[in-house]
Amino acid sequence: MGGWSLRSKFTGMVVLLIAITTAVLWLVLPVRLGEIAYETFADRALSTTSLVAHSAERAIADGRDVGPALEAFRDADEVLWVQLLGPDLEPLVRLGEAPRVGRMAGEVGLVDGVAVTQLGVPMPGGEVALIQAGWSLESLAAGKAEHRRVALGVSLLWLVLGVAFAQFGGMLLIAPISRVADAARRVADGDTSVEAMGFTASPEWRLSADETQRLRAAVQDMACELGQRFEVAQAALQTAEIAQREAADASAMKSSFLANMSHELRTPLNAVIGYTELLAEECAEIEGAELLVGDLARIESSSRHLLGLINNILDLAKVESGKMELCLEDIDVRSVLDDTLETARPLVRPGVVLESSFAPGVASFRTDGTRLRQITLNLLSNAAKFTSHGRIMVSVVQRDGELVLEVADTGIGMDEAQQKSVFDAFVQARASTSRDYGGTGLGLALVREFSRMLGGSVEVESEQGQGTTFRVTLMAA
């Protein structure tokens, strides 16, 4: 098509497109018209069956013969047979040669090339009979030829209109563009006349030398302005890329610093916890020092809580910095999760039942047992925090090389907006959550990161006021 004019290319492309759409229209339109005709036929047949079913229901309720009610089908030319089936699907009344259809799944169906409508008819005692009617589809078959004629007419009309548009569109749209392009080439070559555009070479259509200079100057100014704007945009893009790299470097440095500070942060806290336990044991044996035991217990509890927060922050920093290592081994899933449940049981409030369910087949699974234990403990801690009554249910299913762990509670639940941010670090579901329930918003963020490291994922389903279910799926290593 290299030697074709712009108008010829436009006309050819439009004609090709019109031809393709015409073929599609010719193939699809008869099918769609047939579907519409069948839907209309089915609605009409079902409406007639519904009227007869109501008449039969009244006749049964009054103890009258239902035969006259079924005779109303005789007014419909398409009806081939009618039958009333008892609750045991045995015929009670039959008009015409009705086959044994049985109970259909829907109200309308096709049986041996016949459309069958079916509706229930209440009977005394609470039982339900069935009224079925067979409808001939000959009228629909006869209409297929009409559908093809309609489709042919519409397709031909579309083709004629498309070809006409291609011709006149090429003349009205492309021809002026071609003339303007030709004139631009001539102006670029120094010819200031516009006779080539098909206009009369009158004085008002001839460009003077000054007008040509102004036109060239305007084009140059526009090109310079575009170049300047491009340079400004390119500079802004480079600045944004530098800022992004600096932010990524700063985040990596932060994560690396926290990961390297793991020993320095944990050691003093472990010492505080150890010395507090020793003091508590000694005070328990000293007469008159019993009052100090409660204070020491609170110190130990606060220290352990602080140690847990530091552990979460350090774990998240290790994940972000890529220093978190996995220890993959074959573990006994039931044993690991039973130990975790016992560890989390003191966190559950009085009146809340903690239950577990292991599906058959839960046995050995190759993964990181420590991370699995931490995932489960974080989910149980979250459930215990927000559940004041009801129960917390842990369900485990193992199949086809994957382990599915669900933790469901009957707590306060979340709305859709809160579910979207529940796995973000340092984010609480509500602004008042940290104040009312405590926590830093790191537990579920670690659940998501550990799940991804183990080749799995975590999902949440929740309804406000009804409870929340977290589902973790892990793949065997």
Does the structure show a pLDDT above 80 at 171? Answer: no
Segment 85-106 mean pLDDT: 85
pLDDT at 321: 66
Segment 267-275 mean pLDDT: 80
3-state secondary structure of 296: helix
Q: Are 132 and 92 in contact (CB under 8 A)?
A: no
Segment 145-151 mean pLDDT: 75
User: CA angle, corner 205, sides to 202 and 209, nearest 5?
Assistant: 110
Does the structure show a pLDDT above 80 at 165? Answer: no
pLDDT at 199: 44
Does the structure show a pLDDT above 90 at 471? Answer: yes
Confidence of residue 198 (pLDDT cuts 50, 70, 90): very low
pLDDT at 173: 62
Instruction: Give the helix/strand (H/E) hosting 181.
Output: helix 175-188
pLDDT at 78: 82
d(CA 134, CA 97): 10
pLDDT at 211: 56
Dihedral pair phi/psi, residue 408, rounded to 5°: -115, 140
Confidence of residue 91 (pLDDT cuts 50, 70, 90): confident
Contacts of 95 (CB under 8 A, 6+ apart): 67, 70, 71, 73, 81, 82, 83
What percentage of the chain carries pLDDT values higher than 90? 18
Does the structure show a pLDDT above 80 at 267? Answer: no
Does the structure show a pLDDT above 80 at 398? Answer: yes
d(CA 391, CA 352): 5
Put residue 102 in one of left, alpha, beta given phi > 0 → left and psi -120 to 50 → alpha.
left
Contacts of 335 (CB under 8 A, 6+ apart): none
d(CA 210, CA 320): 66
3-state secondary structure of 127: coil
Does the structure show a pLDDT above 80 at 241? Answer: yes
Confidence of residue 260 (pLDDT cuts 50, 70, 90): low
Confidence of residue 205 (pLDDT cuts 50, 70, 90): very low
Give whichever of 221-230, 251-260, 346-355 has the largest mean pLDDT: 346-355
Does the structure show a pLDDT above 80 at 158? Answer: no
Confidence of residue 200 (pLDDT cuts 50, 70, 90): very low
Confidence of residue 396 (pLDDT cuts 50, 70, 90): very high
Helix axes 290-321, 262-285, angle to 10 degrees: 160
Write the DSSP string, 176-244: HHHHHHHHHHHHHTT----GGGT----GGGS--HHHHHHHHHHHHHHHHHHHHHHHHHHHHHHHHHHHH
pLDDT at 155: 76
What percentage of the chain carries pLDDT values higher than 70? 80
Confidence of residue 457 (pLDDT cuts 50, 70, 90): very high
Does the structure show a pLDDT above 70 at 6? Answer: no
pLDDT at 204: 44
Confidence of residue 261 (pLDDT cuts 50, 70, 90): low
Give whichever of 176-180, 304-308, 402-406 has the largest mean pLDDT: 402-406
Write the pLDDT tens digit of every residue in 284-331. 777 766 677 778 878 877 777 777 777 777 777 777 767 778 889 999
Q: What is the pTM of this model?
A: 0.44
pLDDT at 194: 45
Mean pLDDT (the chain) is: 79
Segment 101-111 mean pLDDT: 85
Give me the half-sphere count of Cα atoms (radius 13 Å) on the Cβ side of residue 116. 23
Write the pLDDT tens digit of every residue in 21-50. 777 777 787 788 888 888 888 888 888 888
Pairing relation of β-strands 390-399 and 457-463? unpaired
